[in-house]
């Protein structure tokens, strides 16, 4: 346990769980990731709105220019100071959401080298077990379970900021 903690494994490693608990934990992690993807979609939407506002700002056709309401309720062309105020607010919202997304998911960022190493280990496991099945060393019905057991032994890529 001491070695596992020194190497950065979590306190509740999923590799020691039963097959059903292991699969349930992987499913839970996948569902958690969908929430992060939703945040990314919101960020993309905000950036799209920023681009739309910028395009309208540069628009030459008077019918398509940005407008605002006067105290009397009339629609008039938006002044530069109002445009800038709204542009700054939209930019700040994008900045805050980007920062929040990074802070929330900082631990989940992994280097591409760690992912490549992890994927290679997964592939080697699959290849080894398929070869055993082809040569008859393993029954085809045991293939899925054998791969699950080996994948538990493959450490997940370590997330977080690299120092």
Average pLDDT value over all residues in the chain: 78
Least confident of 39-43, 86-90, 124-128, 153-157: 39-43
Kindly state the average pLDDT of the residues 68-86.
Answer: 85
pTM of the predicted model, to two decimals? 0.43
Distances in Å between the Cα of 111 and the Cα atoms of 8, 13, 105 are: 15, 21, 14
Kindly state the average pLDDT of the residues 13-22.
Answer: 61
pLDDT more than 90, % of the chain: 20
The answer to whether residues 47 and 91 touch, using CB atoms and an 8 Å cutoff, is no
Residue ranges of domains in the chain? 15-108, 112-163
Could you give the CA distance from residue 49 to residue 55 in angstroms, rounded to a whole number?
10
Strands (E), 5-162: 67-69, 75-77
Kindly state the average pLDDT of the residues 16-21.
Answer: 64
């Amino acid at each position: 346990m001491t070695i596992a903690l020194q190497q950065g494994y979590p306190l509740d490693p999923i590799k020691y769980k039963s097959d059903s608990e292991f699969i349930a934990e992987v499913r839970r992690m996948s569902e958690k990731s969908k929430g992060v993807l939703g945040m990314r979609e919101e960020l993309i939407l905000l950036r799209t709105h920023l681009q739309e506002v910028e395009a309208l700002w540069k628009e030459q056709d008077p019918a398509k220019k940005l407008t605002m309401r006067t105290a009397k309720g009339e629609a008039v062309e938006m002044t530069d100071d109002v445009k800038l105020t709204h542009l700054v607010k939209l930019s700040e919202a994008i900045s805050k959401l980007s920062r929040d997304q990074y802070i929330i998911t900082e631990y989940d960022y992994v280097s591409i080298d760690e992912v490549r190493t992890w994927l290679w280990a997964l592939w080697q496991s699959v290849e080894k077990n398929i070869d055993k099945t082809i040569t008859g060393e393993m029954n085809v019905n045991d293939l899925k379970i054998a791969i699950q057991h080996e994948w538990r032994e493959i450490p997940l890529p370590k997330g977080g900021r690299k120092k």
